[in-house]
Structure 1
């Protein structure tokens, strides 16, 4: 099942993409795609629907973030060994955890805004894991029971803010528009193996990232269990699991986004995103 949200910014409605690719309205069934609809009971309710009985949405509306009311946007750093190598870092002995501000969340095809005073805005295609039920001190064996589904994420990053300023990475990860998610939340039953998903990112039509989730250092099951030892994971929380090599800072010489650049990324089964980088206008 592919769940999404559509409509103008701040006025999104819940929707479902049926097997034929038709967008169906869910607003008469659930108020939104949020924590309550992502619970096991909420997903069972949606799965019991006949999509053909839902109203088809006309036209080509804007697609918004696939989840709303996100409590935590948790990110994992240096989770692909080849990406760590390209940045000059070593694979950490435990997952690197940082937070991306939820105010960074945008729709999958909204503009990426290059922040004021930015010189090193970068791209990162990532697998997102959306939590569906509370996970607290869970084992790896039970971890996947807490997954509502998966989504595509562009973990946009400002590298100078992230690595050349004092403090933690969060300041380089949290600018408005730095968290495009979607187009859909694909329920876990449709992704039997999240550790075998090809992924890519193109800039201005040139392929820079061409990887697979199979090369993650710490897999989804481990990450959920690990994170739940330090904080409870709540329905609607998102875990962004790291990126394969090919980011801008890893190029020789480094290459960063500039006004007008076109970003195209995707993960098999989770859809694609298309963004245009735009300078901050104030």
Structure 2
């Protein structure tokens, strides 16, 4: 059998049309599992950042450098994988959640940058990433993160969504003083509104995804603060250690489940020699 006939047979078996190539996407399918783990990771990002800053005694700058180095190492592994790996991917998300939180906290606490300014700066930075990403790739879809450049844009966007979500969430909490659980309800309703706009009003799927992705950061932070902060400050008093360990255990269980069942694995299909519209 020739190479051409073998290729045609493979496409016939997979249901893809000739002239297309199938490649594994480097990120998971957006399912309920995706959003659950994402919120859990954002919660860990908030509580773990506080825990490390308190327990290690390195200060925000020292902890930020340490976690950034760990994130860089995990991202090297992520970029070198040939396909989506749940363990590596979600470890990167958890670490980038911590780093994004620390970046915002450093600007606010160490440099005295107002939350209004940092929120605006992160918004502009994220918009620039999206603009360059779209100009170069002609898509912002996460269903085709199958090249090095697309993956680089993706992770850069994810970092800025966490930093933006942290700054914007702190700004809302500071200006409105709603309390942790009320803030969680508020951001939960905002995400629900995005879902309604997507499925009932036809909001663009890519836009809806990234808006929800940003909003899950302050949602997770509000949940984490509510569970970990002392009762006198409006929390339940579980502490950062118990909260972080509890959520990490749930994340680990879900990641093991997904690695076993492969329920969130997708393939990326694109015409040969053409960019995705």
Instruction: Answer with 1 or 2: which has the greater Rg.
Output: 2
TM-score calculated relative to the size of structure 2: 0.25
Higher helix share: 2
The answer to which structure, 1 or 2, has the higher relative contact order (CA under 8 A, 6+ apart) is 2
